[in-house]
Structure 1
């Protein structure tokens, strides 16, 4: 029997080399992006579940900000359960799925293509049912992921989506050049900070994660990782939404993980965290702007373009989830009640 958390730990460590492999295929991704741009879609829809849903949220920000194109997240059940048949002529429909095997995503993608959408599947399983029904399929190329908790497939999906959107706007991928090296630096330099955070939070039962803009996706993914590996009561809120009510439930027994990278999203978190600290919460700030916001503990990361930051932000938070699971006596490679592929309809 392998050591507890060995698979998750190994796959977290693989991410720098995975990023290098994804970047080496930029030209291939740019071809798909060019096909999509040539169709001049009137708006974009993104369909996903679980960790891939958080990657889709990241893509939504990329599409709206970098392409100035309206984008929304699809509810597959409107098709699979309710039989809705909207007119999708001229729509870009992107389905994100690590496994490519969830029946609802396959059915929704097939239906969207039949109703006129340009469908693109982004998956780590190129021979999956999802790839078979989409007009175009993009392979994430993260290699087989054995741990139940998605780590390298999540970050590789973010990078793949960034390269697609960047190519669609005519970019050259300049902002992610050398990202594999930055990821290796991030994992090495954040190790002590993560270990300290594990000690701070190993006894808490409630954690709130928060971020704004692009980093909203990181906060959502961090909450999922903490919940599924450490069984913590973890909730994610946009920094803006946090002040609209949920802040009332925050007190000195709450751990708050704030994702704050340089840029407009990070700047908008300053007042949010000041209010949270006033309520006595223990605040861990993670990101390239961690030193600029009110916090009790900080994990500072290398600075990048704001739209690239989520690809690095999630790395120490994956390690935090791993460390907390082990510190609390669990095995994150075998979370209770979970399997690698979740089939929903």
Structure 2
């Protein structure tokens, strides 16, 4: 087993414990937001790259529901190169970065503060630049990972983001204390399923790894917030397995991307209870086109990876991240992947100097 995959396996096995630790600190996290008001004119900006951007976009669904605000989810480069001009003093800018050293993320916080906006940062590293620059820095050491392919931090900082949104909603009288508690306990209950879901995915891959291995390209589909877990699958299969992969919303796939050559392409469908009926219509049509199709989730046919997904209005992705990461890790372990992507990634970052110390 390659060293990076060995490390990923360790982080996968410890993630549930670390997620529970974050949830156990929710009172402390929420209390720090008491002096952060949301006015009628307040706009939210959620900023992140890569898996941090995935978390920001997933968190936007909860923001709409409990705050009544649709945040603008943007990459840090887009924010620093134009969109910052729209920021006003009542606005709240939330930046998420696992290392806390991404230059454009840090610069986003600096520019937002120069516009007198309120700034929040989420990171795993206490002495990082993004933690030093934000008005409200939140540090989650549970998300520290010494590996190129992140596991715990991807979902851990998402949990942190959810708690912060719930805290803002509570202090601004958008939800009650009981509703805050109920949301935290719902996330906790889903977290207790983490290891079982990861184990089930691992067992399936060990028996069916050739479904992944024979594919030269991969298209991962999901609906609503599952698009972002589809993105995580696609990114990890590029980094770890070197496959050309893309992620797209399931319906968007039907508006052009479905015309891709089915030869050697695997279509993966991530399915929860809300999307199951729609996917039951889509699945046979994709098969008729000659694509190999893998259904992962609720109601999967016999050849798929069937999972018992608990219905959740906001937190379904908590049940899919362990599955996605377990699939990637098991595939890499069985076929010897994992030593190239992290080297390429580090080389790009070093040459382009994208990190601040």
TM-score of the superposed pair, with normalisation by structure 1 = 0.89
- Which residue number in structure 2 is paired with residue 189 of structure 1? 200
Equivalence for 1:50: 50
CA contact (8 A) 2:8 2:149 kept: yes
- Give 1:277 shift: 2.3
Q: Deviations over 1:232-268 (max 9, x none)?
A: 01100011211110011052522112111123x4544
How far is the alpha carbon of 1:34 from its aligned partner? 4.3
Q: Report matched runs for 1:163-202 at 5 Å.
A: 163-167=163-167, 168=169, 169-170=174-175, 171-172=180-181, 173-202=184-213
SS at match of 1:73: strand
Is the 1:197–1:320 Cα contact (8 Å) retained in structure 2?
Answer: no
> Helix, strand or coil: the match of 2:86?
coil
Tell which deviates more after alignment, 272-281 or 116-125. 272-281
Bigger share in helix: 2
Partner of 1:145: 145
Query: Mapping of 1:1-345 within 5 angstroms?
Result: 3=3, 5-38=5-38, 42-78=42-78, 80-81=80-81, 85-167=85-167, 168=169, 169-170=174-175, 171-172=180-181, 173-263=184-274, 265-287=275-297, 289-291=298-300, 296-331=303-338, 335-339=342-346, 342=349, 343-344=353-354
- The root-mean-square deviation of aligned C-alpha atoms, in Å, is 2.6
Cα deviation, residue 119, structure 1: 0.9
- Provide the secondary structure at the position in 1 that maps to 2:344: coil
Contact 1:148 1:340 in 2 (8 A): no
CA distance in 2 between partners of 1:23 and 1:305 (Å): 17
Q: Is the 8 A contact 1:250 1:276 kept in 2?
A: no
Whole-angstrom CA distance in 2 between matches of 1:153 and 1:260: 23
In 2: Cα distance, 1:104 partner to 1:299 partner: 40
- Segments of structure 1 that go 5 or more residues without pairing to the other structure are none
Pairs aligned (count): 341
Alpha-carbon distance between aligned partners in 1 of 2:63 and 2:79, rounded to the nearest angstrom: 24
Which shows bigger deviation, 122-131 or 136-145? 136-145
Q: Secondary structure at the match of 1:189?
A: helix
Is the contact made by 1:216 and 1:238 (CA closer than 8 Å) also made in structure 2?
yes
- What SS class does the counterpart of residue 257 from structure 1 fall into? strand
Q: Distance in 2 between matches of 1:271 and 1:140?
A: 42
Measured at CA, do residues 31 and 94 of structure 1 come closer, stay the same or move farther in structure 2, by a change above 3 Å?
same
Q: Distance in 1 between matches of 2:290 and 2:98?
A: 39
How far residue 45 of structure 1 moved from its aligned partner, in angstroms, is: 0.9
Instruction: Give the drift of 1:38.
Output: 4.6
Taking the aligned partners of 2:267 and 2:120, their CA distance within structure 1 comes to 36
Q: Could you say if the C-alpha distance between residues 65 and 79 of structure 1 is closer, same or farther in structure 2, counting changes exceeding 3 Å?
A: closer
Counterpart contact for 1:95–1:120, Cα < 8 Å: yes
- Mean alpha-carbon deviation: is it higher for 66-75 or for 198-207? 66-75
